[in-house]
């Protein structure tokens, strides 16, 4: 039988000093080869869901199983973090090394690769993303879009078995977006992508879910679609979520 690689059972979570349940008896299964898009409104708990999978938010009830293993303790979650790569919504949460190359090589070094091998892995990924000219740049001086691409590179460098991408294309130009799309379309691993961009999600995923009231809505319950519509200022570029 095809067992889930991520399984959340009846997960409930509130932030400290709040009684609002951001996740409320949430159930979610991810299987091998799933490429899942999450499209849901601001504040619906998408980032919190990713943090829960990574052990950064601790639910007050429910079970989390990753690659068939029940995970509860900090030690369990270090295993999770070696298998699942999270690209943070805010690149500044991801990047902390002095230079771009240091930032991208940090993950492989941490996984036990030698200096030379970590550097080679980082250089290859930076090249694939067209970022080789930034290798020696000071990370915190890059533009927002450049930082986001470097954050993406730093997650890929860890060669994760599963990827969680939190709005990877927000603020990126068409060229940068296409680079991310191309890499994702050629990746042979499962991933979950949060995005508000219909076309991007449509291209790179094979399932779509949404979130509301602390729960996940599955594909057969959501029908995300583009449609003809008329309203004021409709000629200006705009988005619908
Ligand atoms: N550290 C925190 N402390 C208290 N409340 C928080 C914290 N982080 C998030 N929240 C609240 O939890 C809810 C869900 O936040 P979350 O960031 O998971 O939403 P999201 O779906 O990722 O939104 P967005 O699309 O804007 O990124 C929001 O109402 C938010 O205000
Ligand atoms: Mg978010």
Per-residue pLDDT reduced to its tens digit, 131-174: 999 999 999 999 999 999 999 999 999 999 999 999 999 999 99
Per-residue confidence (pLDDT) for residue 214, from 0 to 100: 97
Domain assignment present for residue 237? The answer is no
Per-residue confidence (pLDDT) for residue 225, from 0 to 100: 54
Cα angle at 108 between 136 and 200, to 5 degrees? Answer: 80
pTM surpassing 0.75?
yes
Domain assignment present for residue 222? The answer is no
Question: For a pocket test of ligand 1, which of 12, 13, 14, 15 has the largest count of ligand atoms closer than 8 A to its C-beta?
Answer: 15
Per-residue confidence (pLDDT) for residue 226, from 0 to 100: 55
Give which of 111, 93, 105, 97 is closest to 50, Cα–Cα: 93
Per-residue confidence (pLDDT) for residue 22, from 0 to 100: 98
Domain span including residue 193: 6-217
* Residue of minimum CA distance from atom 13 in ligand 1: 43
Per-residue confidence (pLDDT) for residue 236, from 0 to 100: 61
Q: Is the dihedral of CA 181, 185, 186, 192 positive or negative?
A: positive
Dist. CA 41 → ligand 2 center (Å): 9
CA distance 207 to 18: 32
* Residue of minimum CA distance from atom 25 in ligand 1: 42
Q: What ligand 1 atom has the least distance to the C-alpha of 45?
A: 18
Per-residue confidence (pLDDT) for residue 77, from 0 to 100: 96
Dist. CA 114 → ligand 1 center (Å): 38
Spans of the chain, pLDDT less than 70: 1, 219-241
Per-residue confidence (pLDDT) for residue 183, from 0 to 100: 93
For 164-192, give one letter per residue: b (16+ CB within 10 A) or e: bbbbbbbebeeebbebbbebbeeeeebbb
Domain assignment present for residue 77? The answer is yes
Which domain CATH number covers 38?
A: 3.40.50.300
Ligand 1 residue neighbourhood (C-beta within 6 Å): 15, 18, 22, 42-48, 89
Per-residue confidence (pLDDT) for residue 2, from 0 to 100: 81
Per-residue confidence (pLDDT) for residue 231, from 0 to 100: 60
The pLDDT > 90 percentage for the chain reads 86
Per-residue confidence (pLDDT) for residue 227, from 0 to 100: 54
Domain assignment present for residue 107? The answer is yes
> What is the number of structural domains in the chain?
1
Domain assignment present for residue 239? The answer is no
Stated as kind and residue range, the H or E segment containing 118 is: helix 115-128
Do residues 13 and 57 touch, judged by C-beta distance below 8 A? yes
Domain assignment present for residue 234? The answer is no
Tokens 């993950």 found at: 107
């Amino acid at each position: 039988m095809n067992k889930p690689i991520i399984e959340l059972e009846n997960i409930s979570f509130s932030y400290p000093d709040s009684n609002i349940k951001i996740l409320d008896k949430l159930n979610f299964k991810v299987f091998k080869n799933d490429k899942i898009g999450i499209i849901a409104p601001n504040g619906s708990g998408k980032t919190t869901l990713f943090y829960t999978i990574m052990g950064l938010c601790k639910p007050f009830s429910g079970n989390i199983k990753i690659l068939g293993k029940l995970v509860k303790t900090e030690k369990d979650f270090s295993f999770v973090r070696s298998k699942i790569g999270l690209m943070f919504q805010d690149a500044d949460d991801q990047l902390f090394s002095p230079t771009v190359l240091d930032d991208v090589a940090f993950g492989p070094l941490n996984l036990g690769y030698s200096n030379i091998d970590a550097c080679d892995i980082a250089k290859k990924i930076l090249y694939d993303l067209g970022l080789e000219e930034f290798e020696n740049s000071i990370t915190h001086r890059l533009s927002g879009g450049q930082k986001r691409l470097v954050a993406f590179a730093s997650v890929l460098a860890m060669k994760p078995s599963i990827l969680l991408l939190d709005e990877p294309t927000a603020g990126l130009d068409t060229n940068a977006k296409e680079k991310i799309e191309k890499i994702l379309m050629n990746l042979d691993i499962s991933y979950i992508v949060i995005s508000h961009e219909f076309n991007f999600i449509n291209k790179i995923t094979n399932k779509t879910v949404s979130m509301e009231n602390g729960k996940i809505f599955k594909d057969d319950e959501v029908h995300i679609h583009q449609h003809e519509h008329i309203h004021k200022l409709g000629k200006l570029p705009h988005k619908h979520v």
